[in-house]
Chains A and B, each alone.
Chain A
Amino acid sequence: MSDVTKTHHTGLIGSQPKPIDALGQAKIAHTEEGFPTIWLITPATIWLILFLVIPLVSIIVFSFWENTREGLSPAFSFEFYGEYFYTEGFFDPEADRFLRPSVYIRTLGSTVYFTLLTMLLCLIVGYPIAYFLAMQVQAFKWQLALFLLCMVPFWTSYLIRAVAWLPMLGRRGLINQALLGMGIVDKPVSFLFYSEFGYTLALVQIYVVLGIGPIFFSLAKIDKAILEAALDMGATPFQIFREIIGPMSLPGVAIGMIFIFVMIMGEFATAVVVYGGKTSTAGTVILNYYGIANYPFAAVNALMLMLAMVIGIIIILRVVDIRKEL
């Protein structure tokens, strides 16, 4: 009884509204709190539309256009898609190109192959580091310091990091000198640099940090009490890893792998630096055709790269449902 009279008493500023009205007003006030959403998102949204959405859509549009003497002309032509997929003699059992994919598809294939190889190596090299930081280092201060030490190279130039492999792997590089010095080989080996080996090594060194970050964060979120409980119940370290740590770090692994996947699929600079001009990736093919002003064909190559990436990301997300796991 006294409560009711209290809410209706007359205060200094004025009579208080009824409780239900107060609630309703609070709700309305809540949605109006803060700056208006429209002002906060408009500048960035315009920027994203102009410089991300429109360029990407225009790649699709330009891939159907035609090259004429005056430059590009609007058309709806599949000419360059044909050039991408079809090679002469593909359907001819007599020809030596019978049922052999076009050079563009094979380039994309080898790009995918290197990407998957590097992802696997990054996982093998990086996971123990993330595990060490999250599980073995106890003090938060040290955890942060050692983690930052791993992340610093991410903030430096990857071009320079690729160049830096030359004194190590080159013909007269440190590794060759060591091999010669120990008498393992009697003349310098050349497979180290300008080779698949050097390329993969450089890619792993440059991109492994991208995997360590997300894996570290998902490992750090695991409640140590669960591990203690498992130990108390007599689980072996291997069982703990297989049943608890492994599954719980999967979202981090997936995010890290997506990062590495998208970075290396579009990679071309490292290939040029480490591999010399000897090989091509999907990225270098695109730039080469841009260089000779065959824009529609560059666009077709770009679209196929994009398609391969979307398929890859979907597969990774199928294996691990990140949104469910988070």
Chain B
Amino acid sequence: MARWTPERWRKLRVKTGFSIYYVIFLVFIYGPMFAMFVLSFQGRRGGTSFPMRGYSLYWWNKLLEPSTVGDMQGAMGRSIILALMVMVITAFFSTMLAMAFRKSFWFSNVLFYTILTGLMVPGVLLSLGMAILLRQLGLPPAWYSSGLAVHVIWALPFGYLVMMAVFNRFDSRLEEAARDMGANEWTVFKEITLPLITPGVVAAGLFGFTLSYDEFARTTLLSGAENTLPLDINSSMTQRIRPTLFALGTASTIFSLMMISVFLGIYTILYRRSR
């Protein structure tokens, strides 16, 4: 058995210290969300802070009445549709771009920095530029057109960086072997490349979906007459804050967590299969 030398004791103490700090950190980033979750089950006569005055589903039921927090169900539906569109476009664009970047082409540097600009530009700036431009052109903004346009700009750099990392570790000899055996480009892509990169495409899609689903700044000026969910949450905050808002926040967070688990599940299965 190993001796308990002073050095081992010191290491154990350091590790314990860091572990405790990690747990405190988790409480810091999850604690407020958990408190919100508990408070959404506040009794009828309770308020937005502790103590709980009994437990009820009163505030959750209020969510389903259309009048309380605007058109919450419609907003959530629109947010999901928008997120799905952004997911598909981001997955396609990032895969195609990363494939193009495997070879050098003459303005690859400019394109690279333009893609990353989408990550650096604050949402309010892009929103403003688009909104004034549309106004001058006399085009109406809408969540499924101008909203979609800027959401893709925001999600694309994340998906693109994921796919670049995927192709960095990609073994091109597999494709060359297939070509040598006479496969055409489509066959090579379908049979060799795609199965190997699918986990990455799923990860790029996850970024597309979640970043769009939660996006607020880029939608503020561009969603048109109909709200997305983050806009709905924001407008219900400008009124008196009630536990309904906590129920809405909890519902939205649970949905996000569900999506993340689905994506991570698919990712794990595909990753195992691709090896």
Contact = CB atoms under 8 A, between A and B. Distances in A.
Contacts of B176: 33
A251 B216 CA distance: 30
Interface of A: 31, 33-35, 37, 40-41, 43-45, 47-48, 50-56, 58-59, 62, 72, 125, 128-129, 131-132, 136, 146, 148-150, 152-153, 155-161, 163-168, 170, 172-174, 177, 205, 208-209, 258, 262-263, 265-269, 272-273, 283, 286-287, 290, 295, 298-299, 302, 305-306, 309, 313
A174 B233 contact: no
Contacts of B150: 51, 55
A51 B222 CA distance: 12
A168 B35 contact: yes
Interface residues of B, number: 84
A265 to B, nearest CB: 6
A167 B125 contact: no
- Which A-B residue pairs are the 9 nearest by beta carbons? A266-B122, A55-B129, A40-B100, A164-B32, A160-B249, A51-B149, A157-B214, A132-B18, A155-B210
A62 B134 CA distance: 12
Contacts of B253: 156-157, 160
17 contacts: A44-B97, A47-B93, A52-B118, A54-B133, A55-B133, A56-B126, A153-B29, A155-B206, A155-B210, A157-B230, A158-B216, A170-B48, A268-B124, A283-B217, A295-B132, A302-B124, A309-B122
Given A150-B29, A161-B32, 10 more contacts: A33-B176, A56-B121, A72-B136, A136-B15, A157-B252, A163-B249, A177-B50, A262-B119, A272-B237, A305-B125
Interface stretch (B20-28, B53-61, B62-70, B194-202): B20-28
A125 B32 contact: no
A290 B134 CA distance: 13
B96 A41 contact: yes
B122 A44 contact: no
B115 interface: yes
A34 B54 CA distance: 64
B220 A287 contact: yes
A31 B22 contact: no
